[in-house]
Amino acid sequence: MPRLIALFCLLFAVPANADAPPNFAAAKKIAWRLYAERPSTFYCGCAYHGKQVDLASCGYQVRKQPRRAQRLEWEHVVPAWVIGHQRQCWQQGGRKNCTRSDPLFKAAEADLHNLVPSIGEVNGDRSNYALGMLGEKPRQYGACPMVVNFKQKTAMPPEPVRGASARIYLYMADHYQLRLSRLDRRTYEAWHRQYPVSEWERWRNQKVGCVMGHGNPYIGAVDQGRCPALRRAGDTRRTSG
């Protein structure tokens, strides 16, 4: 009986929508199209053109990695490492094994609600650190107010995206039965209350929800009547990536 219950939960946790990306590689291809209307990085607000980030557009200053800083990457707000370390598959072969053998991890890794466009250097510096509050002032990346504390293994996102970050974390925890520490949950629930849903979040939730088949309930429902054209725009089978 416990196995049947676990299987039942797994089936309903994994997105069943036919348009949802089957894996992380497919999710990235779709993400390029979803954000084409508003090509701006999540934490720093830099414009990007193709895979090239316009650092001058947001006053970004390179901390250490000039090449990676100029590259646009797709970041998991809830890191794949965090998702995987709560799965048995990771203990038996790491991320590759989870992607290959665990349907729930594979779905979570490809969930577009958890993917955002990010400056490569910021993505690398943030690593698998939790998002949280820090005492220091943001000065690592010039005018970009992102803070990464390597000793505390914590990253503090800029105020404009704290609410969005929190709602992504809370959605992922609910949808994939992820455990959050008491401190993290308290922080994200506080950010959710303190920073209301923005117009950008509603726009993103609609775009992503049309592909995934469901929205982030912490943001709102998806208008299915506006979905057909968006699905065609995100369909990797119709256009080359």
237 inside domain: no
The model's confidence at residue 229, banded by pLDDT at 50, 70 and 90, is low
8 inside domain: no
Query: Looking at the DSSP assignment, which residues form a beta bridge with residue 75?
Result: 116
Domain that holds residue 158: 17-232
Which two tokens mark 91? Answer: 């203990």
DSSP 52: E
The pLDDT value recorded for residue 86 is 85
3-state DSSP call for residue 119? strand
Tens of pLDDT, residues 132-171 = 999 988 899 999 999 999 999 999 999 999 999 999 999 9
Pick from 49-53, 112-116, 224-228: least confident = 224-228
State the DSSP string of 194-212.
HSPPPHHHHHHHHHHHHHH
Mean pLDDT, residues 39-61: 97
143 inside domain: yes
Pick from 94-103, 106-115, 135-144, 204-213: least confident = 94-103
39 inside domain: yes
pLDDT score of 192 more than 50 = yes
6 inside domain: no
Instruction: Count structural domains, the chain.
Output: 1
172 inside domain: yes
Mean pLDDT, residues 117-124: 98
Q: Where are the alpha helices (DSSP H) in the chain?
A: 2-13, 24-34, 66-69, 80-84, 88-91, 94-101, 103-109, 120-126, 162-175, 182-194, 199-212, 227-234
The pLDDT value recorded for residue 230 is 43
pLDDT score of 1 more than 80 = no
Average pLDDT of the chain is 88
Tell me how far apart the terminal alpha carbons of the chain are, to the nearest angstrom.
44
Cβ neighbourhood burial of 85 (10 Å; 0-12, 13-18, 19+): middle
* Its pTM surpasses 0.85: yes
34 inside domain: yes
d(CA 183, CA 68): 32
Compute CA distances 41 → 11, 134, 155, 201, 209, whole Å: 33, 22, 16, 13, 20
7 inside domain: no
pLDDT score of 11 more than 90 = no
